[in-house]
Structure 1
Amino acid sequence: MIEEVEHPRAGKIKLTGIPVKYGHTKPSIRLPPPMLGQHTKEVLRDVLGYEEGRVEELRRGGIV
């Protein structure tokens, strides 16, 4: 139930494996967990619809 994954900053880390197992598939962890803020820009822009200038304002202001 525990898998080791290589993380870009933390090195090897242990994560809880996939709890559900099906007959002919072997699920696995494909990516390490994201770093804090790693996807902030994409979420603000692509999910919430913020314009690039607004995202940059938030970043400069230390809000994100």
Structure 2
Amino acid sequence: MEVDLIFKIAAVGILVAVLNQLLVRSGREEQAMMTTLAGLIVVMMLIVQKISELFALIQHVFDF
């Protein structure tokens, strides 16, 4: 596994956590929830891309 992917996920998590705390403390819970969902979607897209690359590699190795 690439270390860059782990750092990207950690950076998104830290950014979302900080934004979430700022928004909750200012009384904007709905925007905080949307920020959390957006961060989750970004991380899921990163993971789906890597899974897609894995399946392409498996397909290439076994020549399907």
Query: Same fold by TM (over 0.5)?
Result: no
Alignment TM class, shorter chain as reference: under 0.3
With the length of structure 1 as denominator, give the TM-score of the two structures.
0.25
Structure 1 or 2, whichever has the larger Rg, is 1
Q: Which has the higher helix share?
A: 2
